[in-house]
Amino acid sequence: MAHIIRRPGWHLPESQATPESAYLNRRRFLKGMGAAGLGMAAVMSGGLAACANAADSASDPGEAATDEAILGEFDPLAAARIEAFDPGRSVTPARITARYNNAYEFTTNKERVWRLARDFTPKPWQVEVAGLCAKKGVFDYTDIVDMKALEERVYRFRCVEAWAITVPWLGVPFRRFVEWAQPDSRATHVRFVSVMRPEEMPGQKNEHWYPWPYYEGLRMDEAMNDLTMLTVGMYGRELPAQNGGPLRLVVPWKYGYKGPKFISRIEFTSSQPKTFWNDLQPAEYSFLSNVDPTVPHPRWSQASEELVGEGRRVPTLPYNGYGEYVAAMYR
Ligand SMILES: Nc1nc2c(c(=O)[nH]1)N[C@H]1C(S)=C(S)[C@@H](COP(=O)(O)O)O[C@H]1N2
Ligand SMILES: [Mo]
């Protein structure tokens, strides 16, 4: 009897869903293998294949639960709704945003991240503030985000893999944090480092050829832009771990990987920091990585994008449609 695989309507064809990692250069891959010892190579190549198969037969995560059931386990957060950034698209259902994720610390399989993230402990959560600023130290994340001044902003979100969602994020403009931290005049950039917690994040062990922990960076003017959001929630609730909870960055005019999740360190620097994807594949992932429909990635045309959940492709807009707020920074 034929085994029928039921796919949610929003499941992307494999060709479009090829992960950012798929073509990691062979040298790095082999180096990773070497570090694990020769015996591991066989296990790993078997492991990768097994993983791909598992993805094909995974039970449907999209229809299994309602938005209510998925978000109900997270505490509500109060926020002022900001209407200024009308996304011109309908909000993606929470069950998609919370169950179709890129968080390689857990797994490269987007539909499995949320399951593995259930064992993650988001609280207490401390963030180290470092570098060229006055307020150096280790703080609880609720000390560096004014939880009484949260805003809800609905932003378009665009992954370099050419899929897009629309999400009501809760957080504060990152600028507010900068004002609090008081960087000095030498600070030109902000560097972010995600958490390193291999005992809770199996991808940090299994995907051991990546240079964990994840790290990203912005120029100071980008960090100060009103759109850049230090985010602690979505859909009126605390941010689920699979979406980077408890603390992530959202930079809506850039490809998704410019927004680090699970932020555990924020540092003010006097030179451009290195970034995870740029170090892995400099020709494919630039430091700026602004959404640009005219510059194709080697594996994905960036001219259009699929709205996850709608099965519909729409043209990609320069700066993901946020040009009026950000284009001047790049002239
Ligand atoms: N720490 C960390 N941050 C990360 C990633 C990651 O793997 N680890 N993936 C990035 C990528 S490629 C995307 S598209 C978004 C995905 O966020 P989402 O799962 O909430 O949609 O997170 C970005 N931030
Ligand atoms: Mo992405």
The SS3 of residue 212 is: coil
> Of the residues 261, 263, 275, 302, which should be mutated to test ligand 1's pocket, given the most ligand atoms within 8 Å of the CB?
261
pLDDT of residue 57: 32
Stretches where the chain sits below pLDDT 50 are 1-17, 23-62
- The closest residue, in CA terms, to atom 6 on ligand 1 is 103
The SS3 of residue 191 is: strand
The SS3 of residue 5 is: coil
CA 254 to CA 290: how far, in whole Å? 4
- Check pocket membership of 159 for ligand 1, CB cut-off 6 A: yes
The pTM assigned to this predicted structure is 0.85
Neighbours of 155 (CB within 10 A): 22
How far does Cα 222 stand from its chain's mean position?
17
- Check pocket membership of 259 for ligand 1, CB cut-off 6 A: yes
pLDDT of residue 4: 41
